[in-house]
Amino acid sequence: MPLRALCLASASFALIALAGCDRNGNGSKTEESSAENIAVALDTCANPSAGFAQNVCANRTLASLDTTARETLVAESAAISDAGAALLVQNQQRWRDSARVICGVLDAESALTPEQVSCLEDRFRSRAQEAGEAVQEIGGYTFQRMELVDATPVSAEIARASGLDEGPEAVIRDIRFPRIDGRQTPAIQRFNDLVAQQPQFRLEDATNEVVDYRIAFAGPELISVRFNISSDTLGAAHGNNTFKAVTVLMEQGRALEAGDVFRADSGWEQFLTQRAVREISRQFREDGFTPPERDVQESATKPHLWLIGEEGLTLLFPPYSFGAPYVMGGAEVVIPWADLRAYLNPAAPAPIRPVA
């Protein structure tokens, strides 16, 4: 099957397409995903007769930035399978189309205005810079950045319904999460399922939605990923920002639980709470704020707010989660594993497991 036909899907079926590619792929790399084929699939100017492509290719700066991104993505594709290469192409095609809408280019045949050119240059420049992070080698895994990127125009009617005299050009969805490429073992499939992020809003809800991630730790026994999540509804007083962790035990193929980290009845809940209260109070000393112990314990004891690192445990406190007003934002408390040794489960996975 030609590379262009592999796993291409509309925005609404992106997650289904991803799952299909994962489960049907054996992690192989064949001629289908050669550098030449990837370059052709990503080449905007290969068919310059198309409206938007013609505008991009006629602008020296845009064409150069698009070429830079393409060359970087071709180099990145060398480390991933046929299925991964198809997804990489799909990601870039969807990103390019969303950039067009975000910059107000609704008629692909019309010449670009100076404002649209400036907007597109900014978008293409950022894309060229981030293209080198599309694939990461961490902890013996090859992680590929997945992107659910869409945009829809904001009409005057939608802007008025949101209480705005004039709205932005578009509502944006930019959701990113990691996918382990290569041979799709049951454990890897389960990880990919657990970390895949789905939209929480429809584009017609007039809400911008952005999700980004960072891999905090990856090893044979455990992978821990931090997600930063924001949403901004047109006309709302302020956006909403939060964060969470998804930590997967690879051998068991499931999310981390409290008992995987701590010994039952060891008093770990109280230790985490007191440590967090002290540290958050220190962080907000200038505001004269001391968090209520009950609110802190509510968050500090939830595994989906635990980020696992090589050196220690990071407790994540999203806005509103520790008794502080939203304007104060969130907080983090890092506790070294050495300080937690008395409470840890001896059978905990690395890097949590105590060192004798």
Same domain flag for 249 and 285: no
**Main-chain dihedrals φ then ψ at residue 167, nearest 5 degrees:** -95, 175
Cross-strand pairs, 171: 152
Q: How many domains does the structure of the chain reveal?
A: 2
Distance, in Å, from the CA atom of 50 to the CA atom of 39, rounded to the nearest integer, reads 18
Helix (H) or strand (E) holding 314: strand 312-317
355 belongs to a structural domain: no
Integer Cα distance of 240 and 231 in angstroms: 5
Q: Is residue 330 part of a domain?
A: yes
One domain for residues 180 and 67: yes
Domain boundary among 193, 226, 255: 255
Residues 37 and 3: beta-carbon distance below 8 Å = yes
- Tell me: do 192 and 265 sit in the same domain: no
| CATH of residue 88 | 3.30.565.40
247 and 275 housed in the same domain: no
pLDDT at 14: 36
Q: In sequence order, which ranges of the chain are alpha helices (DSSP H)?
A: 14-24, 35-42, 51-58, 60-77, 82-102, 114-130, 156-161, 186-195, 258-261, 268-283, 293-300, 337-340
Which of 203, 231, 255 is a domain's end point?
A: 255
- DSSP for 123-183, written as a single string: HHHHHHHHGGGSEEEETTEEEEEEEEEEEEE--HHHHHHTT-SS--SEEEEEEEEEEE-SS
Q: Give yes or no: residues 68 and 164 share one domain.
A: yes
Q: Confirm whether 143 is domain-assigned.
A: yes
pLDDT of the chain, 356 residues: tens digit per residue: 343 333 333 333 333 343 344 455 567 777 666 788 889 889 988 765 668 888 899 999 999 999 999 999 999 999 999 999 999 999 999 999 999 999 999 887 788 999 999 999 999 999 999 999 999 999 999 999 999 999 999 887 777 777 777 778 899 999 999 999 999 999 999 999 999 999 999 988 999 999 999 999 999 999 999 999 999 998 888 889 999 999 999 999 999 999 999 999 999 999 999 999 999 999 999 989 999 999 999 999 999 999 999 999 999 999 999 988 888 899 999 999 999 999 999 999 999 986 65
pLDDT of residue 11: 32
Residue 348 lies in a domain: no
Q: Is residue 354 part of a domain?
A: no
Check whether residue 247 and residue 262 sit in a common domain: no
Q: Which of 224, 255, 286 is the last residue of a domain?
A: 255
Before 351, cis peptide (omega within 30)? yes
Contact 217, 308 (CB under 8 A): yes
292 SS3 class: coil
Q: How is the beta sheet containing 312-317 ordered, strand by strand?
A: 306-308, 312-317, 331-336
- Asked if 291 and 328 count as a contact pair (C-beta separation under 8 A), the reply is no
**Containing structural domain, residue 324:** 258-343
* CATH number of the domain residue 296 falls in: 3.90.640
Strands 331-336 and 141-153: unpaired
156 & 49 share domain: yes
- Asked if residue 44 and residue 153 are part of one domain, the reply reads yes
- The 3-class secondary structure across 217-260, one letter per residue, is EECCCEEEEEEEEEEEECCCCCCEEEEEEEEEECCCCEECCHHH
Q: Is 353 part of any domain?
A: no
Do both 126 and 164 map to the same domain? yes
201 plus 288 within the same structural domain? no
CA atoms of 293 and 306, how far apart (whole Å): 18
Same domain? For 291 and 247 the reply is: no
In-domain check, residue 93? yes
Report d(CA 86, CA 101) in Å as an integer: 23
Indicate whether 229 and 277 sit together in one domain: no
Does residue 242 form part of some domain? Answer: yes
- The closest alpha carbon to 152, from 269, 248, 11, 43, belongs to 11
